[in-house]
Amino acid sequence: MLETQPDTFDGTERRHHQRFRVKDDALVFLGKETGTILDISMGGLAFHYAVFEEQPPIPCHLDIFLAESRFYLPHLPVSLVNEVQTLPHSIFNFLRVKRLSMKFGALSSEQRARLEDLITRNTVIES
């Protein structure tokens, strides 16, 4: 897995695609790690994941899985846009929850069609 640095935020809106909240629990697999999708668009997604002790490298591909609809979309190319620790440090120093915002790389026509299907059938508009 390649490690990448997040883009620098300059205060302007960078999203080119409308964000949607996934209706059912949707998971993202980052190699051996698993996260929960917060929102998704045709341009990328944001998700939470738990980091124990050592942080794994940032992935260059991920898989999306929705259990309820049995939807699985593997090997999507991604790059890191932003990384934020969402829970403050606590007495449980070995556990941190992070929010990663990732943008999709070049998708195949099949990946693009399946992503559109996921958004059409399994999301609601973010307000």
Q: Is the pLDDT of residue 32 over 70?
A: yes
Spatial distance between the Cα atoms of 58 and 15, rounded to a whole number of angstroms? 21
Q: What is the pLDDT of residue 14?
A: 54
Residue 87 pLDDT = 67
Query: Is 2 a residue whose pLDDT tops 50?
Result: no
Burial tier of 70 (Cβ tally within 10 Å: 0-12, 13-18, 19+):
exposed
Domain 26-125 has CATH 2.40.10.220: yes
